[in-house]
Structure 1
Amino acid sequence: MVCDKCEKKLTKVIVPDKWKEGASNTTEGGGRKINENKLLSKKNRYTPYGKTKCIICKQQVHQEGKYCQSCAYKKGVCAMCGKQVLDTKLYKQSNV
Structure 2
Amino acid sequence: MVCEKCEKKLTKVIVPDKWKEGASNTNEGGGRKINENKLLSKKKRWTPYGNTKCIICKQQVHQDGKYCHTCAYSKGVCAMCGKQVLDTKLYKQSNV
Could you tell me the TM-score, scaled by structure 1's length?
0.71
Distance 1:56 1:91, change over 3 A: same
**Cα distance in 1 for residues equivalent to 2:74 and 2:95:** 9
CA displacement, residues 34-63 of structure 1 (integer Å, 9 cap, x when unaligned): 999999999542211010100000000000
Distance 1:48 1:22, change over 3 A: closer
Contact 1:39 1:46 in 2 (8 A): no
Alignment coverage as a number of residue pairs: 96
The SS at the match of 1:38 is coil
Residue of structure 1 in register with 2:14 after alignment? 14
Residue of structure 2 in register with 1:78 after alignment? 78
Distance 1:42 1:56, change over 3 A: same
Q: Which runs of 4+ in 1 moved over 3 A?
A: 15-44
Could you tell me the TM-score, scaled by structure 2's length?
0.71
Distance 1:88 1:15, change over 3 A: same
For structure 1, list consecutive stretches of 5 or more residues without a partner in the other structure.
Answer: none
Deviation at 1:64, TM superposition (A): 0.5
For structure 2, list consecutive stretches of 5 or more residues without a partner in the other structure.
Answer: none
RMSD: 3.6
Q: Which has the higher helix share?
A: 1
Between stretches 43-52 and 75-84, larger displacement belongs to: 43-52
**Cα distance in 1 for residues equivalent to 2:17 and 2:40:** 17
Between stretches 33-42 and 47-56, larger displacement belongs to: 33-42
**Cα distance in 2 for residues equivalent to 1:39 and 1:10:** 31
**Cα distance in 1 for residues equivalent to 2:16 and 2:39:** 10
Q: Which has the larger radius of gyration?
A: 2
